[in-house]
Amino acid sequence: MSRTLLVLLLSCLSVLVICIEIEDEKSQCTLQSDSNCQQYWSVRRRNMTCHVSERYRSCDQLCHAGKCNISCIAPEQCRQRCYAGSCDSMECNSRKCRQHCLRSECNLKCNSKHCNQECDVAGCQMTCSPGTELCIQTCKAGKCLMRCPRGVKYCKQTCNYGNCIMLCQAERCLRSCREGRCIYNVPREPVHQVAVIENCNYGLVNKTCLQECIRGYCNIFNNDPQHNHSQICFGGHCYLDCNDYHKCSQVCIGKGCKKLTCKSGVCIQECVAGGCEMECVSEKCSQICRGGGCIMKCLSHDTRICQQYCTGGGCKMICNAENCSPSCYAGYCEYVRTRPPGSGILKVCDSIEWGVCRQACRSYEGCSLTCNQLDTLHSCNQTCDGGNCNLNCSSMERCNQNCAGGFCQLMTCNAKVCFQVCNGGECGTMKCEAETCVQMCFGPGCHMTCTPGVRECHQACMTKQGHCIFDCHAEMCTVSLV
C-alpha cells in the first residue's frame, strides 16, 4: 500500500503544527491556517479556550477521550466536537455554533445566532440563550435534553432514536419524534419504577440476545448460557446479570445503571454517563468509563485480563487478576492491586548485549524502564505490546521505544538519537533533548516536545487520523503527513 509523503517546513509555510499563543494567552492552536484556529486534546483533563477576534475568524475544537471544559468566542463560527469522553461545560459565542457529541456526555450553552447540536449514542444537554434565531438539536441515538426559553425565535428537536426531552418557550417550536421516546414537559421521576423490559426485545441478532431500552429501568437476568447477551440502555437505571458462556456487553448512556455482574468468557461495559459499577470474574473483563466516577472489580485470580479505561476521571479499580490495566486519563483515580504469586511490573532490562539494554513488555499492565547507566550502556530499546509503558532514557548513542498497540504513557530521552514508533496512536508525550528526535505516529493523538538544544526534530502523523501535537523549539522542525 503506497503512502503519499508531504514534508512541511515549519519555518516557511503558513500552516504550523505547533502550539502558538494567540490573542488570548489561554488560547493555543494545535493547527492553524489563515483564518481558522484548531484545538485538539486527547485523553486526560483539559480546559480548552479559543477566544479569537482579529487574526482568526473561526475555531475548531475537538476533545477526544478526555474530560474537557470547552469555551469558544469567534466572529464567524465555532465547531466543537466531543468524542468518547466527557464535556461537562461547552460554551459557544459566535455567529454560528456547530457541535457534535459522540459516545460522550455533553452540556452545551449556546449564545450564537445559529446553534446546532448533533448527538450520537451520547447524553446531551443543549440550552439556547434568548436572542438565538435558530436552535436545532438532532438526537440520533442517545438521551437528549433541549431548552429554548422565551426570546428564542425558532427551536427544533429531531429525535430519531433514544430518550428525548424538549422544554420550549420559543416563538416557534417544532418537534419530530420518530422511533424515540419524547417528552415535552418536565418529567417526574417515579419513587419506585418496575422494570419495563425484562427480556431481549430484539431477539437474536448474530447469535446475540439483544435488548434496547429507550425509557430506562430494564433488566436482563441471563437464563440462556448458549448465546451472547447485549444491553443498550438509553434511559438509565438498567440491570444486567450475565452468566453466559461466551460474551456479555452493556452500553449505559443514561445515568443510574445498577451494578453489572458478569461471569461470561468476555465481559464489556461502556458507561457514557458515568457512575457505573462492574463486578467481573470472567476470563477477560473491560470497562470503559466516559463520564467518570466508575468502579471496576476483578476479584478472581483466574481472570486473565482486567482493563479499565477511565476518560472522565475519579474511577476506582480493585484487581486480583493476572494482568491488570488501569488507565486514568483525567486524574483522581484509585487503584488497589493484589498480585497473584509470581507477577510483577517489569522495571529492568530483559537482556544486555554489546552495551544495549533490551526490554520486551507483553503485560497489559505496562512496564517502566529507566536506562541511564552511561558507563555500561550506550543504547536502550523498549518494545511495548500492551501499552501503559514508560521509558526514561539517557544514553550515549540511541534510545528506542516501539509501542506496538499504542497507548504508551511517557518517553523522556537524552541521547544522540531518540526514536519512537507508536502504531496504535494515543501515545502520551515524547519529551526529547537529543541531537536528533523522531516520532512516527500511525494513529490519532500523539504528542511530541523538542527542547531548544535539539538539532533536528521530526514527527510523522497520519493525515486521515491526524490530531497530533508538535511542540518544537529545535534548530530544524519538520512534520510529515503520511
Query: How much is the CA Rg of the chain, to the nearest whole Å?
Result: 24
pTM for the model = 0.62
| In 129-274, beta strands by DSSP E | 134-148, 154-159, 162-168, 172-177, 181-183, 204-205, 208-213, 219-221, 228-233, 239-242, 247-252, 260-262, 266-271
* Domain spans, the chain: 33-183, 195-336, 351-481
The residue whose grid cell reads 494567552 is 25
pLDDT tier for residue 343 given thresholds of 50, 70 and 90: very low
The secondary element (H helix, E strand) that includes residue 336 is strand 334-337
Distance, CA of 414 to CA of 421 (rounded, Å): 17
The yes-or-no verdict on residue 119 having pLDDT over 90 is yes
Distance, CA of 297 to CA of 288 (rounded, Å): 13
pLDDT tier for residue 245 given thresholds of 50, 70 and 90: low
What is the model's pLDDT at position 43?
65
For the stretch 180-225, pLDDT in tens is: 888 887 655 444 444 556 677 766 777 788 888 888 888 887 666 6
The yes-or-no verdict on residue 429 having pLDDT over 70 is yes
Q: Which of 37-46, 117-126, 128-137, 451-460 has the lowest mean pLDDT?
A: 37-46
Mean pLDDT of the region 245-274: 89
Mean pLDDT of the region 471-480: 88
Residue closest to 233 by CA, chosen among 219, 247, 248:
219
The yes-or-no verdict on residue 161 having pLDDT over 60 is yes
